[in-house]
Amino acid sequence: MRRIGILTGGGDCPGLNCVIRAVVRKGLEEGFVTIGIKNGYRGLIENDTVILDLDSISGILPKGGTILGTSRTNPYKKEGDIKKVISNYKNLDLEALICVGGEDTLGVAARLMKEGLNIVGIPKTIDNDLSGTDYTFGFDTAVNIATECIDRLHTTAESHHRIIVVEVMGRHAGWIATVSGIAGGADVILIPEVPIDLEEVCQLIKKRHNRGKTFSIIVVAEGARFKEEQIITKEERLDEFGHVRLGGIGDILAEEVEKRTNFETRVVVLGHIQRGGTPTAFDRVLATRFGIKAVEMIREKKFGQMVSLKGDKLVDVPIEEAVERLKTIDIELYEIAKTFFG
């Protein structure tokens, strides 16, 4: 039987196992053996692989994370690693490699295609910030988790007459903050695309309290920044793709809001809670559709392409085009959110 490989790279998210399951099942139908590459590109460098059969994928549909493991390994970062990747790809006798990931993982995939590897991409990120597709799997689950948390925070905020700042994920794009904020009834939503005006935020909160409301919920994306200031980060250390570790915006925002309004303020950082646990039905179905489509693309030799959701249809788009720019928030959607501010 012919052999195809699959790896999952970058941050984990709910739905990855659904993709793996679909690739294995569809692969068997098409006459392929599926080789799982462990821990993203690191597994391709170290030749750390496993044959995926029906027993391997039994029961993984509702399971979060990825049974293959993941990493933020960049094979172009260390001299000699890319040669190992190419050599191991050939030694594994792969007809094609399915790379499941976001901008970084698929950015590497686009470069590997130019090295002569047959690559098919599948978009994955809870941030929903890949321009080549309407939706990435993982986003719907993250939004539902964030919305549930915001719902729960309403009751404790109201009981204690507090402002609660909820920090959600979103490095460069405010999709999670905006959608969960609208769904959860947030009183202010702050995103990377629109610099934070502290005076405006505090005026909105005061206006709300002047109407008799004794609590407020502020949702802020981790990558949001104040006017004339840099991104708020935990540290200056960079990962292998040159990204700083974000975080801290919620704490600073809460401190400033309390100081300027005299209202007791608390902060809740949702962090990796948004990545974990069981995928929603939407993400399970979307990830399954992506996996099936990827194997069909291999059968049709559509290499260098990424599976994409356009409307309710699956199409394929060049990986290079899919990662050339980030998909930031639809400003019309953000304007809808602003209707409910303050």
Looking at residue 244, its pLDDT comes to 53
Task: Say which CATH number the domain at 227 has.
Answer: 3.40.50.460
Domain-located, residue 65: yes
Q: Which two tokens stand for residue 139?
A: 């986003």
The type of residue at 166 is V
Within-domain flag for 88: yes
On whether the CB atoms of residues 141 and 13 are closer than 8 A, the answer is: yes
Q: Measured between alpha carbons, how far apart are the two ends of the chain, in Å?
A: 62
- Answer whether residue 110 shows pLDDT above 80: yes
Residues 128 and 160 in one domain: no
The side-by-side arrangement of strands in the sheet containing 163-168 is 188-190, 216-221, 163-168, 265-269
Q: Helices 249-261 and 198-210, interaxial angle, to 10°?
A: 50
CA 98 to chain centre: 18
Q: Which of 81, 127, 187, 316 is catalytic?
A: 127
User: Number of folded domains in the chain?
Assistant: 2
Q: Which domain holds residue 106?
A: 2-138+279-323
Summarised one tens digit per residue, pLDDT across range 137-155 is 999 999 999 999 999 999 9
> Residue 113 falls within a domain, yes or no?
yes
Residues 144 and 94 occupy one common structural domain = no
Whether residue 68 is predicted with pLDDT greater than 60 in this model: the reply is: yes
Asked whether the predicted pLDDT for residue 219 surpasses 90, the reply is yes
Q: What is the pLDDT of residue 245?
A: 54
pTM of the model: 0.90
167 contacts 249 by C-beta, under 8 angstroms: yes
Q: Are residues 12 and 131 in the same domain?
A: yes
340 within some domain = no
**236 against 147, higher pLDDT:** 147
Q: In this structure, are 119 and 151 located in the same domain?
A: no
Q: 313 φ, ψ to 5°? A: -110, 150
Judge whether 331 lies within some domain: no
The DSSP line for 190-254 is E-TTS-B-HHHHHHHHHHHHHTT---EEEEEETT--BTT-PPPEEEEEE-TTSPEEE--HHHHHH
* Residue (of 68, 105, 78, 219) closest to 157 by Cα position: 219
Q: How far is CA 46 from the centre of its chain?
A: 26
Q: Give the residue with greater pLDDT, 160 vs 248.
A: 160
Q: Is residue 125 part of a domain?
A: yes
Within its chain, how far is the Cα of 86 from the centroid? 27
- Residue 127 is a catalytic residue: yes
Q: Are residues 93 and 52 in the same domain?
A: yes
CATH code of the domain containing 114 = 3.40.50.450
Q: Is the domain of 151 the same as that of 219?
A: yes
**Calpha distance 200→70 (Å, rounded):** 41
Q: What is the pLDDT of residues 266-282, one digit of tens each?
A: 999 998 999 889 999 99
What the block records as the tokens of 231 is 């991104």
